[in-house]
Amino acid sequence: MMRRSYLLLGVQFLAGWEAWSWYARRVQDGSDEPWGLLALLALVLLLPRGARHPLPERDVWRLAAVNVAVAVSHSWLPPLVRAAVCLLCVTAIVSRMTEGRAFHLGTWLLALLALPVLSSVQFYLGYPLRLAAAALAVPMLRGMGLPAVREGASLAIGSDVILVDAPCSGARMLWVGLFLVVMLACLLRLGAGRTLWVCVLGVGVILFGNALRVSALTLVERGRILGPSWLHEGVGVASFLPVCLLIAAICLWQRERQRAVAVHG
């Protein structure tokens, strides 16, 4: 039975050959940062060792149906979507073989983060993220005594207008933060519901952390904070540290809640 599972895994890799070729080109063409490879490595390392579960017949037919659907819709499906479906099919097979279940939310989220999506996130979500950063930064700056007003994706402070530009959108921080959330959820063996909950809370923490970074950089731009030439990059790192600590605290809190429910439930 396991021999058939390995054979199906090999067939699935061959069926997704075009998607893997696109993935390799996308990672190397400079249009995206290859951070997805980090998620791919984490996905491989976090899979259980030793356990072997054969694929049931119904999963084989489901995989066949998905591959047929991708083949039929090949001409109008974007390459990123085709690659996502192929990668999730492989993830489902490996997850079934190692964990005994085809769907594990943390594993599937890591697979999606392994895709080269950062440039797409920046293109589609960059402006909304900039708006959110500017809106959240306004009350922070007002709390510091600055008469800040949001004007689109800019901050107006008196006669000064400071643009929240693309690098300050927080797209990279969002990816790294979500990667940390999902990796911790997998390591702590959180259930699907709690994994989803920590992802939602994690996104909120990340948005708040990015607004904190924008506020601090605004103070640097206005000369309220003086320092060396690397201060701009230092502010980014310093603002991300509390984000990481809060994410870790949220995941540990949910792990304790899960244990409490298991003991008393």
Q: Are residues 127 and 251 in the same domain?
A: yes
pLDDT at 118: 85
Q: How confident is the model at residue 51 (pLDDT cuts 50, 70, 90)?
A: low
Q: Are residues 254 and 133 in the same domain?
A: yes
Domains of the chain: total: 2
Helix (H) or strand (E) holding 35: none
Q: Over the range 120-159, which residues count as b (16 or more CB within 10 Å of their CB) and which as e?
A: bbbeeebeebbebbbebbbebbeeeebebebeebebbbee
Is residue 131 within 8 Å of residue 210, measured between CB atoms? no
Task: Decide which of 234 and 187 is more confident.
Answer: 187
pLDDT at 231: 64
Is residue 239 within 8 Å of residue 213, measured between CB atoms? yes
Q: Are residues 124 and 83 in the same domain?
A: no
pLDDT at 175: 94
- The fraction of the chain above a pLDDT of 90, given in percent, is 44
Q: Are residues 102 and 26 in the same domain?
A: yes
pLDDT at 115: 92
Q: Are residues 7 and 127 in the same domain?
A: no
Q: Which of 91, 116, 141 is the last residue of a domain?
A: 116
State the angle between helix axes of 192-221 and 231-264 in degrees (0 to 180), rounded to the nearest 10. 160
Is residue 214 within 8 Å of residue 168, measured between CB atoms? yes
Is residue 192 within 8 Å of residue 185, measured between CB atoms? no
Non-local CB neighbours of 228 within 8 Å, separated by 6+ positions: none
Q: Are residues 45 and 111 in the same domain?
A: yes
Q: Are residues 145 and 244 in the same domain?
A: yes
Q: Which of 116, 142, 159 is the last residue of a domain?
A: 116
pLDDT at 222: 67
pLDDT at 219: 81
Q: Are residues 169 and 255 in the same domain?
A: yes
pLDDT at 194: 95
| Segment 163-214, tens digit of pLDDT | 898 888 889 999 999 999 999 999 999 999 999 999 999 999 999 999 999 9
Q: Are residues 56 and 82 in the same domain?
A: yes
Q: Are residues 124 and 250 in the same domain?
A: yes
Which of 50-64, 122-136, 142-156, 166-180 is predicted least confidently?
A: 50-64
Specify which residues 161 forms β-bridges with.
Answer: 156
Q: Are residues 24 and 103 in the same domain?
A: yes
Q: How confident is the model at residue 28 (pLDDT cuts 50, 70, 90)?
A: confident
Q: Are residues 105 and 146 in the same domain?
A: no
pLDDT at 138: 94
| Segment 9-21, tens digit of pLDDT | 888 888 889 999 9
Q: Which of 85, 116, 147 is the last residue of a domain?
A: 116
Q: Any idea what DSSP says for residue 29? A: S
Section 137-143 average pLDDT: 92
- Sign of the Cα torsion 220, 240, 207, 34 reads positive
CA dihedral 166, 23, 112, 131 (to 10 degrees): 10
The rounded distance, in Å, linking the Cα atoms of 106 and 91 is: 11
Tell me the residue range of the domain where 37 lies: 2-116
Section 138-154 average pLDDT: 90
Where would I find the H helices in 73-117?
79-99, 105-113
pTM: 0.90
